[in-house]
Amino acid sequence: MSTNENKGKKAEVTALQAISAEDRKDWISLAFVQAGICVCVPAFLLGALLAEAMPIWPAIISGSLGYLIVVVGMVATGMIGCDLGLAACTCCQAGFGKSGARFIVSTIFAVNMIGWFGIQNGVCGEAFSNAMLAMTGWDIPVVVSNTIWGIIMLLTAVYGVHALEKLDKISIPLLMVIMCYGTFLAFKIYGTGNLNDEGTVQSMSFMSGVALSFNFTAVGTITGPDYTRFQKSRKDTVKSVFYGVFPMGVITLIMGIVLTKLSGQYDISMVLIEVGLPFLGIIALVISTWTTNSTNAYSAGLNIVMALKLNDNRRREATLISGIIGIVLCDLGILGHVEGVLSLLSYVVCPVGGVILADYWVVGRGKAKNFRPQDGVNWAGVIAWALGAIISYALVKIEFVGIIVGFVIYLIAERFIPSASRDSAENVA
């Protein structure tokens, strides 16, 4: 069932089926969605962390290079989603097999997305309550703020990509105006003296800065097909990813670095409050969380459909359940104790991308007609994924290395356990 057929229901239904040609969107619309994914509180925090660990120019250059690697990865996985019209978990059904994609990939993706939805919801709720207390004296319980904002963010995800697109077209320009004005006021109040890097001790290497920048968007790099499945062509995919991710990523990075250097304050919303923009500070905090967190819930819903083997038209219900679980876990305070575990999951997610890329672009020769999901488990993919996760975490501690290792090991293992994609490619050669 296409999304056009569901316009009367006002919410996108399709989860795992291929997106039809008439339901594809222009690249500008998806660029705003891509921008919404990378413009978030952690993106400003990335700038703050780099600002504390190295001089300003190495911080900017290393962070920007990390975002460039993200763009390359998202283009490579995003083109697969565009070619096939399929979400990321469905794109794994050749490299991992249908059972492997369901029990390994979709489960990992769902847990990761639900967890981060809850964590970011908690950050937003706590900051909102603190800001309201400081501004108005109203002591709003954090649980109340968490729940209200969590529901608002969740409902956007329930309505689907069309709602995300509408949200981002309004919120991203508004956020940039607020942040630019806040930065201007920060320069007026603090001056430029703190930008001279005096007293800055470099405690992080340049390559560590690059890796840190990538790590903040690592999962989004692999789940890119969840959104690029709505693109009309590979060319549109390149445009939406590059113009959506790179400029906004670098802008938020630089703002995070500059504002941290000027004020010595990590919390960007508090910086805006200190420079005399308390109300706009709250708006910036909420918007930067909302645009990203809605995509967490949206992707979680897609993966819940696959993991639980639900009917494809149950995407809305699956998204709703995912978000409610995240909100409840957040309100109970459980996620604060497992945040480290969720961070480790990114090491498990990245090798999935290596398997997808190797199977589609090398084994399947980059042709949609060669993509052939196979029943059961493709052990070549499972082996490559497991070794990629172990090597990237235990040996090098750099997440994007998992993509490379998974890619290489899959190509070796696939020679002994042939993929259905290779059978198809050789038959049509």
pLDDT given for residue 197 in this prediction: 64
Cα four-point dihedral sign 117, 390, 227, 84: negative
Question: Would residue 8 count as lying in a domain?
Answer: no
Q: What is the CATH number of the domain that holds 266?
A: 1.10.4160.10
Give the C-alpha separation, 64 to 246, whole Å. 8
The residues near 282 (Cβ < 8 Å, ≥ 6 apart) are 128, 131, 132, 135, 269
Question: Would residue 224 count as lying in a domain?
Answer: yes
Question: Would residue 74 count as lying in a domain?
Answer: yes
Question: Would residue 422 count as lying in a domain?
Answer: yes
Question: Would residue 171 count as lying in a domain?
Answer: yes
pLDDT given for residue 150 in this prediction: 94
Output the CA–CA distances (angstroms, integers) from residue 348 to 69, 401, 402, in the order listed.
18, 11, 8
pLDDT given for residue 83 in this prediction: 97
pLDDT given for residue 4 in this prediction: 45
Question: Would residue 23 count as lying in a domain?
Answer: no
Which tokens is 241 given?
Answer: 């990813």
Spans of the chain, pLDDT less than 70: 1-11, 41-42, 193-194, 197-200, 266-267, 269, 336-342, 423-429
**Which region, left, alpha or beta, applies to residue 333 given φ > 0 means left and ψ of -120 to 50 means alpha?**
left
Range of the domain at 282: 28-197+204-428
Q: What is the DSSP letter of 232?
A: S
pLDDT given for residue 10 in this prediction: 54
SS3 25: strand
Number of domains in the chain: 1
Question: Would residue 4 count as lying in a domain?
Answer: no
pLDDT given for residue 3 in this prediction: 44
pLDDT given for residue 106 in this prediction: 96
Asked whether 372 and 421 are in contact (CB, 8 A), the reply is yes
Give the C-alpha separation, 184 to 205, whole Å. 30
Question: Would residue 247 count as lying in a domain?
Answer: yes
